[in-house]
Amino acid sequence: MMELLWLLLPVAAASGWWAAKRSDARQDVTLAERTPGYFSGLNYLLNEQPDKAIDVFIKMLEVDSDTVETHLALGNLFRRRGEVDRAIRIHQNLIARPTLNREQRAQALLELGQDYMKAGLLDRAESLFTELGEMNMFQSQALGNLLTIYQEEKDWDKCLQIAKRLEQLTNRSLRKECAHFYCELAEEAQFRKDLNKASQLLKKAQIADEGCVRATILQGEIEVLNGANKNALRTFRQVERQDPSYLSEVLPAIIDCHMALGQRAELIKYLHQLHQKHHTVSCVLALTGFIQKDEDDAAAIQFLANFLHEHPNLAGLDRMVELSLKSGKGDAQESLGILQQILQKLMEKRPAYQCLSCGFTAKTLHWHCPSCKTWGSIKPLQEVDEN
């Protein structure tokens, strides 16, 4: 309550000042006679009736060219505090005044639209931002908010339309965002079993952003569904060039394609190349499996131990304990079993992905960060040695 009191006291003071300034009464009239509403509003505040206090102060603060900014500031304060209903009331009251000029009305519409967005009233917000676009007022802000709304509504066609208009208006590149919008449409087409349409959309995504890993992965998956393992293999391998941090996402598919094509030796050679270049845990674990089959458990353990000595990693340690359990006996085997249980609990608690923009962590891959709403910023936590 005291926080709200301190918020509204400056508005009350301004209200009293403006009322006194515009009064035609004599100079010796007391403040209470000039501005009775001032004390009425304070009384409502002290009695914890903030809504009535707001009504009083709004009525006292006549809307004209000198006080519009005060109304806007008060509404913004309430919206930032999360008191959206009060912000809406203030901005609606402002728009209803006939004294506003065109620019002031447009600014009030923009603020009210943002109030509606905050309240989750997306249809109302969309209507106001569209009206601003028709007025040719505050277009970049209105389009930016419309883009946010259409992303929330998953209307990817409209997202593409708005993004292209924003690019023309602001000269800001939204190629990465557009690529993901095409990917979203491609996933919808793939869900409908329309693989040709999905491929066409993914080509547009790659034209928009040739570095879009998501488009590459989706295209490879479609080629696998079509039985074109050779093409899929070529597509999945492009991920290394685009962004090696996503190798763990495509490595199982790369292994499957090689094996389906009868290219086991080529696969092992390729895994060694990846290991030498990137030192990714996923490559090491895959190689460990082949060494175990081609040689023995001891060779696999030694290979893992050499890697872990330079690149400590929970997943690698868990695999080494698993291999060691086979040869362990008595108390040693029991201790290794306990160690493996502890390692698995530690890995269960550990996130697998993190947003490079805001630090958000997750167990599954999100192409659109749920926290900061950035596209393509979440990556696997690989513990890759970059040296």
List Cα–Cα distances, 60 to 20, 54, 65, 372, in angstroms: 10, 10, 15, 40
Q: 10 Å Cβ neighbour count for 379?
A: 17
- 191 CB-near residues (< 8 Å, 6+ apart): none
In this prediction, residue 175 carries a pLDDT of 96
- 234 CB-near residues (< 8 Å, 6+ apart): none
Task: Please state the rounded mean pLDDT for residues 343-355.
Answer: 85
**Cβ atoms 310, 385 nearer than 8 A:** yes
**Where is mean pLDDT largest: 27-41, 75-89, 315-329, 361-375?**
361-375
**Residues 55-66: pLDDT tens digits?**
665 665 554 556
* DSSP, res 246: G
Q: What is the DSSP string of 164-210?
A: HHHHHHH----HHHHHHHHHHHHHHHHHTT-HHHHHHHHHHHHHH-T
Task: Please state the rounded mean pLDDT for residues 374-385.
Answer: 78
Unique residue bearing structure tokens 């074109």: 228
pTM for the full predicted model: 0.80
Domain ranges in the chain are: 2-158, 279-350, 351-387
Say yes or no to pLDDT of 29 above 60.
Answer: no
Say yes or no to pLDDT of 110 above 80.
Answer: yes
**Residues 6-18: pLDDT tens digits?**
455 455 544 454 4
Q: Determine the Cα–Cα distance for residues 210 and 94; give it in Å rounded to an integer.
A: 47
Q: Determine the Cα–Cα distance for residues 129 and 112; give it in Å rounded to an integer.
A: 10
**Which residue type does 288 have?**
T
257 annotated as belonging to a binding site for a ligand: no
Say yes or no to pLDDT of 151 above 70.
Answer: yes
Per-residue pLDDT band at 179 (split at 50, 70, 90): very high
In this prediction, residue 259 carries a pLDDT of 96
Among the listed residues 95, 147, 154, the one whose alpha carbon sits nearest the alpha carbon of residue 126: 147
Query: Among the listed ranges 32-36, 237-241, 284-288, which one has the minimum average pLDDT value?
Result: 32-36
Largest CA distance in the chain: 104
Calculate the CA 239 to chain-centre distance. Answer: 22
**Cβ atoms 58, 93 nearer than 8 A:** yes
- 16 CB-near residues (< 8 Å, 6+ apart): 31, 34, 35, 38, 60
Say yes or no to pLDDT of 326 above 80.
Answer: no
358 annotated as belonging to a binding site for a ligand: yes
The CATH architecture of the domain made up of 2-158 is Alpha Horseshoe (1.25)
